[in-house]
Amino acid sequence: MWSLVVGSLLASLCPERGAAVIVETATHQLSLCREGAVDQHYDVAIGSGGVAARRVGWAQTPLGSFTLAAAVPSSHYHVFVPLVNPDPKRFSAWAIGIHGPPRANKDDGHSNVESDWTLGCIAVASDREIDEVAEWIRSNKVTRVEFR
């Protein structure tokens, strides 16, 4: 029963058409949506400074819709899916994206997302998860992400 309720709530976050990546910062969930349904969802950590709707400060995750660049290998987080800086006046320093766990904690699993520790990025719990997210984004030709 619980999984049906959670599945219905997650599906209501998805647009009815197309593919989308939606990050619900309040619930710490990243959802991969296709045609109104959730293909997969992941627990995530966000910026240790919380979220910011207007001007992003140190360690804050920005809210809004952003363009995704292609995933790249990362010596710090296994894979990094960068967000393109939408407004250099609003976001002066920008190195925000979706990534895996830090290399020192790569084998720690879910504990990597039990607290908010990033500098504004969205982090998933494992290398396997970021590989899945990056591949899903690539194969579904998703170019936008929404942080709510």
Distances (CA, A) of 24 to 40, 97, 123, 132: 14, 15, 13, 18
Domain boundary assignment for the chain: 2-147
Evaluate if residue 2 carries a pLDDT over 60.
no
- At residue 20's C-alpha, the angle toward residues 15 and 22, to 5°, is 90
Query: How many CB atoms within 10 Å of residue 11?
Result: 13
CATH code assigned to 2-147:
2.40.440.10
The pTM assigned to this predicted structure is 0.87
Reported confidence tier of residue 57, pLDDT bands at 50, 70, 90: low
Note the maximum CA span of the chain: 47
Lowest average pLDDT, out of 49-58, 112-121, 134-143, goes to 49-58
Radius of gyration of the chain (CA): 14
Please give the residue that has the higher pLDDT: either 59 or 130.
130
Tell me what the mean pLDDT of segment 107-114 comes to.
Answer: 95
Mean pLDDT of 114-142: 97
Whether the pLDDT of residue 129 is over 70: the answer is: yes
Comparison of pLDDT for 53 and 80, the residue scoring more? 80
